[in-house]
Amino acid sequence: MVLAEIAEEVKKCTLCELFRTATNAVPGEGNPEARVMFIGEAPGWHEDKQGKPFVGNSGKFLTELIESAGLERDDVFITNIVKHRPPGNRDPLPDEIAACAGYLERQIAAIDPDVIVTLGRHSMNRYFPGERISKIHGKPKRFGTRLVVPMYHPAAALHNGSLRSTIEDDFKQLPRFLAEQDTERDKRRQEEERPEQGT
């Protein structure tokens, strides 16, 4: 399976220096056929210890948010922009993000999700460079057949009352974005099946 192959490569990765200080690589986990894929920032202390994404406090909150959208954690795929923990939880550096980008691209291609949710600034920058999260959170943008929705990072929202209700409201829109994707897919199918006009 492609995702398992990518995970094995990530575990052996030496493309940047982060592997030297990390305990475990965190390739990501979830449903290989997920319709929704979440991209966070980088593994933290708990994730580094367990080799799994979003298993600490912000992970618990993320699971609640996923469930509030009528989904289960097992339905979705969760990964990060960088797959090894930066020392002391510092921000990932641009060359670390660049070194790790190929893994993320291959994960996205293998899963082919309908909706990608970016969590926080670093993953937002991949799709919306130069934008401000406070301005564009919760607003989906179409990239080919996919919708990409920038959202606040759960860790930022966890202890801030107003951000918390903002991220909760943004997550509650996910079923609507999935329904929009169903409609778009039906339209594409109908167009493919329609006989050529005038022949």
Residues in contact with ligand URA by CB under 6 A are 40-44, 47, 53-54, 58-59, 80, 155
For residue 72, the tally of other CB atoms under 10 A from its CB is: 10
Q: CA-CA distance, 92 to 126, in Å (whole number)?
A: 13
How many residues are recorded in the chain?
199
Please state whether beta strands 141-143 and 77-80 pair in parallel, antiparallel, or not at all (unpaired). Answer: unpaired
Find the shortest distance in angstroms from Cβ 192 to ligand URA: 38
Find the shortest distance in angstroms from Cβ 41 to ligand URA: 3
Q: Cβ distance 65 to 149 under 8 Å?
A: no
Q: Which two tokens stand for residue 81?
A: 């922009």
Q: Which is nearer to ligand URA, 57 or 173 (CB)?
A: 57
CA nearest 170: which of 62, 39, 45? 62
Find the shortest distance in angstroms from Cβ 126 to ligand URA: 13
Find the shortest distance in angstroms from Cβ 125 to ligand URA: 13
Q: Which is nearer to ligand URA, 76 or 181 (CB)?
A: 76
From residue 9, give the alpha-carbon distance in Å to each of 1, 6, 59, 173. Answer: 13, 5, 24, 35
Q: Which is nearer to ligand URA, 41 or 114 (CB)?
A: 41
Q: Which two tokens stand for residue 178?
A: 């999935």
Q: CA-CA distance, 26 to 118, in Å (whole number)?
A: 17
Q: Which is nearer to ligand URA, 147 or 155 (CB)?
A: 155
Q: Which is nearer to ligand URA, 40 or 150 (CB)?
A: 40
Q: Cβ distance 19 to 25 under 8 Å?
A: yes
Find the shortest distance in angstroms from Cβ 156 to ligand URA: 10
Q: Cβ distance 3 to 111 under 8 Å?
A: yes
Q: Which is nearer to ligand URA, 75 or 184 (CB)?
A: 75
Find the shortest distance in angstroms from Cβ 61 to ligand URA: 10
